[in-house]
């Protein structure tokens, strides 16, 4: 576990301890959501979750829900203290930790938008992102870490854009005029870019560390909701629920 996760755990401990949560046996449930539960029925059929390689883990805590994308999923139940003590040694443990953090922070009123958008919301999200970046980062060279089709579709015509992904089916493919690159090109893309647009899934697959403190970053998605709040990161996820 690298320094980032150690720092994150310290901040989570301080918060949960200050709220008096660690002294109680509080149950957390996490389960892998079906495609329909996670994203509804969008018109487009090219989202990663629809391919079955990733699923949303959903933790529920005192009526509040929080999610995390992962390629290692399964049921989990335990006290918050036990969640905090997970060694975060694999993608499943990190997903349980992150989803649980999102659920607790949603319960405490510290975050909103911890549930994935549905149906045609991703289309609106991609359009809003293009407007958002045009207002704040016009002309910026963008390295997008994680292929999100509606974002790439809207950014490729108006920005110098490089897209990196870990799915072998995407790597080397041309998506909306952009060739998707593999993770081995990450360092070069960071050097090239003015701005990093990063999926929250980097938290669960343990690839976020090398991206930090390099260039300005905007994280996107529900997975990163709680961590972005605790770490003071910029997050774009306007259609989440």
pLDDT in tens, 49-63: 444 466 788 899 999
Pair (168, 230) in one structural domain: yes
98 and 180 in one domain?
A: no
Domain boundary among 107, 131, 161: 107
Question: 195-212: string of b/e by CB count within 10 Å (b at 16+)?
Answer: bbbbbbbbbbbbbbeebe
pLDDT at site 56: 81
Which residues in the chain land under pLDDT 50?
1, 38-39, 45-47, 49-52
Last residue of a domain, one of 57, 75, 107: 107
Does residue 241 form part of some domain? no
Residue 217 falls inside a structural domain: yes
Query: CA of 113: how far to CAs of 142, 198, 217, 225, in Å?
Result: 24, 17, 19, 7
User: What does each C-alpha distance from 212 to 64, 185, 186 come to in angstroms?
Assistant: 29, 16, 12
Say how many domains are in the chain.
2
Same-domain pairing of 58 and 136: no
Write the burial class of residue 173 (CB in 10 Å: 0-12 exposed, 13-18 middle, 19+ buried): middle
Q: Are residues 35 and 63 in the same domain?
A: yes
Q: Do 85 and 181 share a domain, yes or no?
A: no
**Is 114 part of a structural domain of the chain?**
no
Residue 113 CB neighbour total at 10 angstroms? 17
Place of tokens 């289309």: 123
Which pLDDT does position 211 carry in this prediction?
95
Same domain, 219 and 179: yes
Domain, as residue range, for 45: 3-107
DSSP element (H, E) containing 64: strand 64-70
28 is a domain residue: yes
Any domain includes 187: yes
Instruction: Tell me the β-bridge partners of 142.
Output: 161, 195
Tens of pLDDT, residues 116-130: 887 788 889 989 999
Same domain membership, residue 129 and residue 93: no
What CATH number did the domain enclosing 141 receive?
3.40.50.11590
Query: Is 3 within 8 Å of 226 (Cβ atoms)?
Result: no
Domain closes at, from 47, 79, 107: 107
Is the residue at 112 inside a domain?
A: no
**Domain annotation covers residue 115:** no
Integer CA distances (angstroms), 61 to 47, 85, 96, in order: 28, 18, 12
Q: Pick the closest to residue 217 from 190, 181, 186, 182 (CA basis).
A: 190
Same structural domain for residues 19 and 52? yes
Q: Based on the domain organization, do 129 and 99 belong to the same domain?
A: no
State residue 29's pLDDT score. Answer: 61
Residue 113 lies in a domain: no
Per-residue DSSP letter, 86: -
Query: In terms of domains, do 136 and 58 share one?
Result: no
Token pair of 17 as six digits: 């301890």
41, 129: one domain:
no
Q: Are residues 64 and 161 in the same domain?
A: no
């Amino acid at each position: 576990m690298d320094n980032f996760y150690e720092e994150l755990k310290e901040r989570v401990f301080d918060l949960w301890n200050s709220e008096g949560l660690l002294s109680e046996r509080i149950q957390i449930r996490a389960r892998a959501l079906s495609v329909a539960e996670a994203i509804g029925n969008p018109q487009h059929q090219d989202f990663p979750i629809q391919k079955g390689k990733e699923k949303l883990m959903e933790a529920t805590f005192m009526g509040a829900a929080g999610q995390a994308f992962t390629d290692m999923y399964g049921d989990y139940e335990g006290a918050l203290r036990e969640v905090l003590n997970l060694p975060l040694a694999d993608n499943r443990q990190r997903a349980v930790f992150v989803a649980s953090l999102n659920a607790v922070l949603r319960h405490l009123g510290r975050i909103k938008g911890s549930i994935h958008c549905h149906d045609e919301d991703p289309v609106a999200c991609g359009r809003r992102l293009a407007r958002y970046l045009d207002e704040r980062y016009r002309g910026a060279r963008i390295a997008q870490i994680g292929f999100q089709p509606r974002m790439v579709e809207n950014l490729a015509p108006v920005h110098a854009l490089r897209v990196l992904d870990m799915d072998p089916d995407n790597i080397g493919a041309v998506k909306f005029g952009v060739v998707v690159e593999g993770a081995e090109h990450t360092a070069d893309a960071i050097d090239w870019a003015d701005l990093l647009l990063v999926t929250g899934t980097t938290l669960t697959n343990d690839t976020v560390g090398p991206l930090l403190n390099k260039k300005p970053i905007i994280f996107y998605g529900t997975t990163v909701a709680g961590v972005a709040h605790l770490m003071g990161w910029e997050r774009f996820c306007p259609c989440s629920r």
